Amino acid sequence: MTVSIKTKLLFSYLVLIFVPLIVLTTLTYWRVSSQMEDNMLRTSQNALDQSETYLETKLSNLLNATDIIYFDKTLQDVHTTNPAIYDEDFIQQNIDQNNLTTLFNQIERNADVQRIRLYIRDIPGYSYDNASFFVFKDLDGLPWYEVLKASKSVVTWIAPDRFASETNNGTPIISLARRITIKTFNVTDGVIRIDMREPVVNAIVKQANVTSMGLSYIVNSGGDLISASGNARLLADRELRAAAENAARGSGTSSDIRAGKDDYLTLSRPVANSDWTFISVIPYSEIKSTGKDIRFYMILMLLATGLISFFLAYLWFNSSALRLKHLAKNIRKVTGGDFTTRIRVSSRDEIGQISRDFNYMVTEMAAMIEERFETGKKIKSLELRSLQSQINPHFLYNSLDMINWSAVMSGNAEIETMIQSLSTFYKIGLSKGDDIIPVKNEIEHVKAYVTLQNLRYQDQIRLEVAVDEEVLTLEMLKITLQPIVENAILHGILRTPAKSGTIRIAGARRGDVFVFTVADDGNGMPAEIVAQILDRETVDEFHGYGIKNIHERIQLQYGAAYGLSYESAPGRGTTVSITLPAIARRAT
């Protein structure tokens, strides 16, 4: 039974309206959960970004404070003055101590700074006051100093757990330690240490934790906990922390992790001017705990809109079905060979677009058929011209053959030699239309050419051929050697004062290739011409004809590894090397 497209569309629309009453409730719940997750992610990211920026500002202030102390003139003088003189000058020591103490007091007015400590060499006047000044050599063995020594950085942040014995009324501290390497280059001989109350950092970390069940904390590159705020159970979960810190070391700033049976969203930011990483961990159970109350209202909305949409769809589908029938009718006309048919387009919807595409396709098909017809005629014309071009060389060869017999009959040896050489030259050049010929034939082609030139120039050209017998059985592109020999004669030998010379053709196999060398003792060429001879299109006193064409023919036929190369110098002749693949001639 054939069902009309209008019935199919109406049935499909009915299914699409009422099935979503069940499906869309689930999809809506998923969508709301996704939106809540996105909102939670954005909120958490913004809170983490703001907290991280605020923390970077505070850390930057402390770094600036260490710069102020480090480059203070008094401290520089203490470290650069001769100890033998300075340790006896108690008045200057007292002045320097007061100056440094005043500087420390000014910096300690910052609410974030708890205390400044300076560890320097043993100076009798003030190095043992145990308030702000300490002896540097007494640091060995202290946990926080071991961290500084292990660090390759000049400035190092020390975690609170390194100061268990130094807490102030039970308040943990975070310290910034800076090496002093003024006196001896690259050797630490002092330390500046600025202590900051850990609650200052903890207040910033607490601002980053925007969830009730989540966790925010800061950890350094060694895995030491700097500060934390939020769910203590999550903080104590070593598996969760390891997964979160591994994700933070990755390339992304947010990741999904799993610890135990629960899934978590982690956000991380590196803290500038430190080796700290700011991490927030949010349980997915908290993210997905909202958005369930709207399902009932969605069902009511879908029922009302579904019924209204169904009646409107009936009218629209009926109109669309008529347009599709008209399109199908015109397609059948085209399949029957009528390329003049066109569809009147009255809308910009999908059916209208299909109709426009149909009109364009029919027009293009008609044009392609016409073009194919014209191309066919041109091909036949070219085939005829090609046949004519084949006929003319044959005619010339046959005519030369008759002239040769006439010369033989009349006993004219010079004309006989000329006609035989010319006949051989054109017979090999024709080669029955083949582009690939035996090497032996190519050598015969060159010999015939040189014989003709000697008849013209009174035997001024000497040709020496030394080609291995193995090479003669290989194949090559025809008319490769002759243009090179022609250039050697016209632009080399005939430009010498004697207007005579020798051309030597050698050929030998070298593994998978064989190489011809065509050497003449002619006029030669300058180095700049040799460097450009295979790249230039023009013909001048050095280039002659066909050299670039031969090089390109070889590379097109065999690849870029093959072709011509030139060696020449003015007054010393020219040597051309032709590299070709060693391909045995197939039997015909």
Question: What is the per-residue DSSP string for 499-548?
Answer: --EEEEEEEEEETTEEEEEEEE-S----HHHHHHTTT-----TTT-SSHH
The better pLDDT of the pair 465, 542 is held by 465
- For residues 295 and 468, give the distance between their C-alpha atoms in angstroms, rounded to a whole number: 93
Ranking 98-102, 308-312, 402-406, 493-497 by mean pLDDT, the lowest is 402-406
- For residues 283 and 215, give the distance between their C-alpha atoms in angstroms, rounded to a whole number: 9
Assess whether pLDDT exceeds 70 at residue 296: no
Exposed (0-12), middle (13-18) or buried (19+): which is 276, by Cβ within 10 Å?
Answer: buried
Query: Do residues 507 and 467 lie in contact, with contact meaning Cβ atoms separated by under 8 Å?
Result: yes
Mean pLDDT of 423-430: 64
Q: Could you tell me the pLDDT band of residue 574, with boundaries at 50, 70 and 90?
A: very high
Could you report the per-residue pLDDT of 186-228, keeping only the tens digit for each? 677 889 999 988 889 999 999 988 888 899 999 998 888 999 9
Mean pLDDT of 427-437: 66
The better pLDDT of the pair 439, 286 is held by 439
Q: What is the pLDDT of residue 409?
A: 64
Q: What is the pLDDT of residue 541?
A: 46
Amino acid found at 493: I
Query: Do residues 568 and 574 lie in contact, with contact meaning Cβ atoms separated by under 8 Å?
Result: yes
Mean pLDDT of 502-524: 93
Query: Do residues 510 and 577 lie in contact, with contact meaning Cβ atoms separated by under 8 Å?
Result: no
Element (DSSP H or E) covering residue 254? strand 254-259
Q: Could you tell me the pLDDT band of residue 347, with boundaries at 50, 70 and 90?
A: confident
Query: Do residues 326 and 354 lie in contact, with contact meaning Cβ atoms separated by under 8 Å?
Result: no
Helices in 71-152 by DSSP H: which ranges? 73-80, 83-86, 90-108, 143-150
Q: What's the DSSP call for residue 186?
A: T
Query: Do residues 116 and 69 lie in contact, with contact meaning Cβ atoms separated by under 8 Å?
Result: yes
- For residues 47 and 360, give the distance between their C-alpha atoms in angstroms, rounded to a whole number: 57
Alpha-carbon distances, residue 35 vs 40, 208, 267, 295, 388 (angstroms): 8, 21, 18, 15, 79
Helix (H, G, I), strand (E, B) or coil at 227: strand
Strand 276-283 relative to strand 262-270, pairing: antiparallel
Q: Could you tell me the pLDDT band of residue 418, with boundaries at 50, 70 and 90?
A: low
Q: What is the pLDDT of residue 420?
A: 64
Q: What is the pLDDT of residue 385?
A: 47
Token pair of 352 as six digits: 């209208």
Q: Could you tell me the pLDDT band of residue 67, with boundaries at 50, 70 and 90?
A: very high
Q: State what percent of residues in the chain have pLDDT above 90.
A: 20
Ranking 334-348, 412-426, 523-537 by mean pLDDT, the lowest is 412-426
Q: What is the pLDDT of residue 503?
A: 94
- Beta-carbon contacts of 224 under 8 Å, excluding residues fewer than 6 positions away, are 159, 161, 162
Query: Do residues 563 and 579 lie in contact, with contact meaning Cβ atoms separated by under 8 Å?
Result: yes
CA dihedral of residues 219, 223, 228, 232 (deg, nearest 10): 150
CA dihedral of residues 134, 135, 136, 139 (deg, nearest 10): -80
Token pair of 251 as six digits: 């390339």
- For residues 103 and 75, give the distance between their C-alpha atoms in angstroms, rounded to a whole number: 11
Cα angle 202-203-209, degrees, rounded to a multiple of 5: 85
- For residues 525 and 573, give the distance between their C-alpha atoms in angstroms, rounded to a whole number: 8
The better pLDDT of the pair 126, 274 is held by 274
- For residues 205 and 278, give the distance between their C-alpha atoms in angstroms, rounded to a whole number: 8
Q: State what percent of residues in the chain have pLDDT above 70.
A: 79
